[in-house]
Amino acid sequence: MRLLVELSLLTLVAASSSTGAGSSVTTPLGDFAPTKGSTCACKKLSCELGEVILPSSATYVVQAAENYWDVRADLSPACIFLPASADEVSKAVSIFKSCNAQFAVRGGGHMNYPGSNNIDGGVLLALEKLNNVIVKRDTIEVGPGLNWYDVYSALEPYGRAAIGGRLKTIGVPGLSLIGGFHYFNNKYGYAMDNVVSYDIVLGNASQITVNKSSHPDLFWALKGGANNYGIVTKFTLRTFDIPKVSTTIQVYNESGIPDFLTAVCDMAMLDDKDPIAAGMVATVQYNATTKVASASLLGVQEGVSRPPSQFANFSAIPATTRINNVTTMKQWATDLDSPKQMFRVMFSHKTMKPDADVLHSIYKTWKDAVDQIADIEGLYPTFVINIASASAARVARTNGVGNVWGLEEESHILWQFSTGWALAQDDLRVEAWSRQLAEHLHAINVKKGIASEFVYMGDAGEWQDPFAGFPKENVARMREIRSSYDPKGIFSRLNWGGFKLGI
């Protein structure tokens, strides 16, 4: 099963024969002085609530750095607080407010860019102790300290599955709040569409339960609205009767890449009235030293199908590796891990209508552009393709709730540059290269009339503004809801991490 790790687009695990990115690269934590507000908050948290980890604590480095998968996210909080209950989260927010303390919130720690879920000189609120799980008939209640492997493990004895992360170490809260790509989006919608209730701590420290009938405006805003409204302390998720899944792992050499990209576009355009739940992780890897490119598919389909029928177009392409299996979601996810401090990683992503010729042109331009930065130490470039199908968007448009994305019932391709490298000295160079290349290619697609301005937070670089691609009326409504539930702006002026709505 080690092959799964090496092929997974998001693990970015390079083989030992690549350009050196396979070795761990660590960065010492900086010496950031606490602010007046954080000093106040750390003292109150220590006196009133319990476990507070200070920079002098033995476990500080693990919490401040090693619990993040991207080296760039390693920062130096003034202290780290691990609440054990929703009440303690509420008390912590009250303290942050009274001390005017800057703070960050960490769920799974998977959003990679600096400051998204960590902080220099402020307070880090780490949710890992909020890890309760209650399985019910067709739902599961989960705490924000869990990752998706925990969820799949809890559901396996019941033969059920949830719509969650494709890597086991992705946290429940981050994915659920930004949208959530899963293999089965085409039938069941995105992760956010399958949350039936949120327990949330607001900026005034009050605790409320949010669902279709209780605070329905906030219920809608939390479906893709990220961390602009509060801290969710419990998610109730819809589950489905999926005891078995059929999987396929396929690897192609460079000659198969054109057909591979065509098959991706063909799958994006599938729009069956009664779809079979199926989806994939599709990537192209390129070694700028050896000049060798290859493509890989990790495909999952609900039910038993030998081989999985929805990937017939891929199976028709000559492959160097092809492994088909019938398993469970837990077993499939077992080895799909994050790279854990192996890289600095930059994302850049844009969206387009499915067009195989254009997608192939983007791939070729990207590969040529990688050669321009081949001297960067530890370079590990990956071209990632995700699918947003018309049927996935249809779920939100017909469920009586919707989501903040407001996508039309159209198929889209999300193309992404995921670039790993080793040294901080190359940070600005990689960002400039990745950003300029993505914007140049997107501008060409705009002229062709096939571009979409939709940007998915989970694939976006820190330089991107996902809200700019939402319907303007949705963004206006989101801001009104934020003003209603957080009038003091606790989650816009004291908590800066993640993608914020702006003023």
φ/ψ of residue 407, rounded to 5: -70, 140
Averaged pLDDT of the chain: 92
CA distance 129 to 117: 16
pLDDT at 98: 98
Residues linked to residue 397 through DSSP beta bridges, in sequence order:
none
Task: Kindly report, residue by residue over 417-437, the tens digit of the pLDDT.
Answer: 999 999 999 999 999 999 999
Give mean pLDDT, residues 329-344.
Answer: 86
Our CA dihedral for 210, 68, 424, 290, rounded to 10 degrees, sits at -110
Residues linked to residue 279 through DSSP beta bridges, in sequence order:
300
- Name the least confident of 48-57, 362-371, 453-462: 48-57
Q: What angle do CA 480, 483, 484 make, to 5 degrees?
A: 90
Record: fold of 133-242+472-494: 3.30.465
pLDDT at 495: 96
How many CB atoms sit inside 10 A of residue 290's CB? 10
pTM confidence score: 0.93
Model confidence at 90: pLDDT above 60? yes
CA distance 34 to 405: 37
pLDDT at 29: 61
Model confidence at 27: pLDDT above 50? no
Model confidence at 12: pLDDT above 70? no
**Among the listed residues 244, 268, 107, the one whose alpha carbon sits nearest the alpha carbon of residue 185:** 268
pLDDT at 30: 63
* H or E element that contains 354: none
Structure tokens at 78: 């003034």
Q: What is the DSSP string of 121-160?
A: SSEEEE-TT---EEE-SSEEEE-TT-BHHHHHHHHGGGTE
Quote the strand ranges of 389-485, DSSP E.
Answer: 412-421, 451-452
- Name the least confident of 11-20, 95-104, 114-123, 281-290: 11-20
Model confidence at 388: pLDDT above 80? yes
* Contact assessment for residue 64 and residue 124, using Cβ atoms and an 8 Å cutoff: yes
The CATH number of 36-126 is 3.30.43.10
Centroid of chain to Cα 187: 20
Model confidence at 123: pLDDT above 90? yes
Centroid of chain to Cα 133: 21
Domain boundaries, the chain: 36-126, 133-242+472-494, 243-469
Task: Kindly report, residue by residue over 220-233, the tens digit of the pLDDT.
Answer: 999 999 999 999 99
Task: Kindly report, residue by residue over 253-271, the tens digit of the pLDDT.
Answer: 999 999 999 999 999 999 9
CA distance 99 to 39: 9
Model confidence at 105: pLDDT above 90? yes
Query: Same CATH fold, 133-242+472-494 and 36-126?
Result: no
- Does the domain formed by 243-469 have CATH 3.40.50.720? no
Model confidence at 2: pLDDT above 80? no
The confidence band for 200, taking pLDDT boundaries of 50, 70 and 90, is very high
